[in-house]
A and B are shown apart, each in its own frame.
Chain A
């Protein structure tokens, strides 16, 4: 009985989560522009999407900003973690407290704060201001994912390398960095997805002439929903599905390999 109830409950939640997305996917293939009339199967909205120079530009902006912001955040964040490891606990806690602010703050506050800052320093708003802002909200996530990797154990491995004759630089490159790599990678990926997903902060820190996918969707929706946005939704959904499936599959496989041969 309990199991059946559980299954029904899962089903209801799944329907709630996926029916709207499913509706978008179906409508993206609708020849008719109407949301309530099925006019036959068509790919014309996909064509329209790919022909739109504005959309292609927005996609390029979104991904180039995401990659650069994630890269900057990863470097600055990882260095910050390493530097903090050399500090007294008090100083570390102060920095971590400051680090928490952008994460706990509402996006709208972060957005307008950065906007005011750019106005104050007379920075022309555009690509660079978006990039700066994205790096700002990504750094905390990098720090959170790298920091757990810098611990007593890392210290001991570093010492072990020195003990075996390695120079500090060599030990860092060959031992510490590989130890940090999973944290650095997940910090980078987290930053990347946060940046791609962001709308609110971009909205306040962009200039007039520049769009990311999010801001373009917002301005189009305000004017009236065009079916090419359904096509975009479908594409994003499929890409997300494929990426997540591969990541999960690879992790499962790695886990299987690890558990296949139990420790002797």
Chain B
């Protein structure tokens, strides 16, 4: 699998707001890459730059090593599934899908075959003559997919394509997308603010915030080893605690000195202030006094499979979030234990201010 798309030092501002702060990104052939982040993080602008709708102020875009920064959108070998589908309302389903083929003046017999084929791929066989405004949201979504893939693009860009669908349909479509990608064998660049979508479908997740890439890696890496509090907070529930390295491979969390597996070699020398992430499901409940921390359960919620509890620690003023299959009562005093492997020590998040400091160094 070779590299297909590379972004180098992309900077983009609108009016006076900087939207992208130097984005470097590499996408491999046949990869499912998800750009994940809250609204306003720059993910959509990144996508629009790849599609050719926006020109970066600085930086270059490469496709198979060729600089395509100045290539207009209608010549790029990429197609987009738009956020609200952008289906042409005055055309039938068939005409929508055939659009890119008609632009290229393909013979009608070929168009007919390809449209039918695309509809089959998205499980809407025989929908050619339907009107767009008669379709449900899920069907429109599929038509948008069919329209984008009928011309066999090398890369499919998907801009929050499931955002407008309800939960059940969304989960169904996640499977569909993965299946479709397998059948087509092309590269997907997917945009979402929904961490679950990102984790279930992607080969690679790129977490973005405030115009910076915060972290990129496999879903597993992103979940298990978030590099900073922003990523940890954005992906799943977590306890993010302020801590400080007190000795080589010893971190003080919530008033307790705790031996961990990260030290000077990983970039955490003694006295460095750090963020510590502990996932709520990694905290074991043990009898009072037998764990590392002691606390009192102050609230409890049953959320389907497990209980979620808030525990007020006795040591500092920290409230811990716990997830556990066993039921404990509010007011109960408990001990808490965490395996050293499950403690993730991180640098403080990368923000604009800090980025500037880094550059100064």
**Interface set of A (CB-CB < 8 Å, partner B):** 153, 156-157, 159-168, 170-171, 174-175, 178-179, 258, 261, 263-264
| Interface 9-residue window, one of B4-12, B132-140, B226-234, B272-280 | B132-140
Question: Which residues of chain B are near A156, meaning CB under 8 Å?
Answer: 82, 84, 86
Question: Count the B residues whose beta carbon is within 8 Å of the partner chain — how many?
Answer: 28
Q: Does B88 contact A (CB under 8 A)?
A: yes
Q: Does B53 contact A (CB under 8 A)?
A: yes
Q: Does B90 contact A (CB under 8 A)?
A: yes
Q: Given A160-B82, A165-B74, is A263 in contact with B133 using a C-beta cutoff of 8 Å?
A: yes
Q: Shortest CB–CB separation between residue B312 and chain A, in angstroms?
A: 48
How far does the alpha carbon of A8 sit from the alpha carbon of B86 in the complex, in Å? 50
A261 touches B74 (CB 8 A): no
Interface readout for B79-119 with A: 1 if CB under 8 Å, 0 if not?
Answer: 11010101011100000000110011000000000000000
Contact for A164 among B72, B99, B139, CB less than 8 A = B99
Q: Does B51 contact A (CB under 8 A)?
A: yes
Q: Does B147 contact A (CB under 8 A)?
A: yes
B74 touches A166 (CB 8 A): yes
Q: Does B73 contact A (CB under 8 A)?
A: yes
5 A-B pairs with least C-beta separation: A164-B100, A160-B86, A162-B73, A178-B90, A156-B86
Which DSSP category, helix, strand, loop or mixed, fits chain A's interface? helix
Contact for B79 among A164, A167, A263, A264, CB less than 8 A = A164
Q: Shortest CB–CB separation between residue A26 and chain B, in angstroms?
A: 47
B136 touches A166 (CB 8 A): no
In this complex, the member of A160, A162, A258 whose beta carbon has the largest number of chain B beta carbons within 10 angstroms is: A160
A159 touches B151 (CB 8 A): no
A263 touches B136 (CB 8 A): yes
Q: Shortest CB–CB separation between residue A237 and chain B, in angstroms?
A: 36
How far does the alpha carbon of A153 sit from the alpha carbon of B84 in the complex, in Å? 9
B90 touches A160 (CB 8 A): no
Contact for A179 among B72, B82, B90, CB less than 8 A = B90
Tell me the chain B residues, 134-185 only, with Cβ under 8 Å from chain A: 134-136, 139, 147-148, 151
Q: Shortest CB–CB separation between residue A25 and chain B, in angstroms?
A: 42
Task: Name the CB-closest residue of B to A170.
Answer: B103
How far does the alpha carbon of A165 sit from the alpha carbon of B86 in the complex, in Å? 15
How far does the alpha carbon of A261 sit from the alpha carbon of B136 in the complex, in Å? 12
Q: Given A165-B151, A166-B99, is A258 in contact with B53 using a C-beta cutoff of 8 Å?
A: no
Contact for B73 among A163, A179, A263, CB less than 8 A = A163
In this complex, the member of B78, B79, B88, B148 whose beta carbon has the largest number of chain A beta carbons within 10 angstroms is: B88
A160 touches B74 (CB 8 A): no
Question: Which residues of chain B are near A179, meaning CB under 8 Å?
Answer: 89-90
Q: Shortest CB–CB separation between residue B90 and chain A, in angstroms?
A: 5
How far does the alpha carbon of A162 sit from the alpha carbon of B79 in the complex, in Å? 10
B88 touches A160 (CB 8 A): yes
| Given contact pairs A163-B79, A163-B80, A166-B103, a sample of 16 additional A-B residue pairs in the complex whose CB atoms are under 8 Å apart | A153-B86, A161-B99, A162-B74, A163-B78, A163-B148, A164-B151, A165-B100, A166-B99, A167-B103, A171-B74, A174-B99, A178-B88, A179-B90, A261-B134, A263-B133, A264-B136
B104 touches A175 (CB 8 A): no
Q: Given A157-B88, A163-B79, A178-B90, is A263 in contact with B134 using a C-beta cutoff of 8 Å?
A: yes
Interface readout for B31-54 with A: 1 if CB under 8 Å, 0 if not?
Answer: 000000000000000000001110
B72 touches A162 (CB 8 A): yes
Question: Which residues of chain B are near A263, meaning CB under 8 Å?
Answer: 133-136
A163 touches B133 (CB 8 A): no
Interface readout for B46-69 with A: 1 if CB under 8 Å, 0 if not?
Answer: 000001110000000000000000
Task: Name the CB-closest residue of A to B84.
Answer: A156
Q: Given A165-B100, A165-B104, is A159 in contact with B86 using a C-beta cutoff of 8 Å?
A: yes
How far does the alpha carbon of A164 sit from the alpha carbon of B136 in the complex, in Å? 23
B134 touches A264 (CB 8 A): yes
Task: Name the CB-closest residue of A to B89.
Answer: A179
Q: Shortest CB–CB separation between residue A174 and chain B, in angstroms?
A: 8
A160 touches B151 (CB 8 A): no
